[in-house]
Amino acid sequence: MLRLFTETLGAFLTSRLSHLSEKPVASFALPGSVAGENALSLFLAAMTEDEDLRSNDGIHERVGLEWVTKLPPVRLKCTYIVSAWPASSDPAESALAQLRLLSAAFKIFASIHTLPPGWLPEPFKAPGLPEPVISLAKDDLSASPEFWAATGCLFHSAFAFTATISLPADDAAYDHVVEDVLVDYELK
- The yes-or-no verdict on residue 167 having pLDDT over 90 is no
Share above pLDDT 90 across residues of the chain, in percent, rounded to a whole number: 21
Q: Which domains does the chain have, with CATH numbers?
A: 2-51+73-169 (3.30.2000)
pLDDT of residue 73: 76
Whether the pLDDT of residue 77 is over 80: the answer is: yes
What pTM, to 2 d.p., does this model score? 0.76
DSSP run (H or E) holding 10:
helix 2-16
Nearest Cα residue to 1 out of 84, 73, 108: 73
As a whole number of Å, the end-to-end CA separation of the chain is 46
Query: Residue 21: its pLDDT value, please?
Result: 86
Spatial separation of the C-alpha atoms in residues 184 and 178, rounded to whole Å: 17
In 3D space, the residue among 6, 31, 14, 26 whose CA is nearest the CA of residue 104 turns out to be 14
Instruction: State pLDDT tens for residues 15-40.
Output: 999 998 888 989 888 777 777 788 89
